[in-house]
């Protein structure tokens, strides 16, 4: 792995797409509609992302399915 990332400044242990957005991971999502959501990943497939949405206090707020075409950005904590 050392030679694979040599010289590009990639952090040790940086996730790959296949290891990102795993079930139970807390993420923040910016949708193209201007809506920002935060919650836990329930599932993902070729169609989109299913979130257990939480409000700012952390309380459950239902489930939202977001098609990939509606997602502008996804952020996750380390």
Residue 15 clears pLDDT 70, i.e. is over it: yes
pLDDT for 59 equals 94
Query: What residues does each domain of the chain span?
Result: 21-76
pLDDT tens by residue, 29-77? 999 989 899 999 999 999 999 999 999 899 999 999 999 999 999 999 7
- Count of alpha carbons within 13 angstroms of residue 20, beta-carbon side: 13
CATH for 21-76 is 2.30.30.100
Task: Give the C-alpha separation, 47 to 59, whole Å.
Answer: 27
């Amino acid at each position: 792995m050392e030679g694979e990332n040599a010289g590009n400044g990639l952090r040790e242990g940086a996730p790959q797409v296949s290891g990102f957005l795993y079930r139970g991971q807390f993420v923040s999502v910016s949708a193209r509609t201007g809506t920002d959501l935060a919650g836990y990943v329930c599932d993902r497939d070729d169609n989109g992302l299913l979130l257990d949405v939480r409000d700012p206090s952390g309380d459950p707020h239902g489930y939202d399915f977001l098609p990939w075409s509606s997602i502008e950005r996804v952020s996750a904590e380390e």
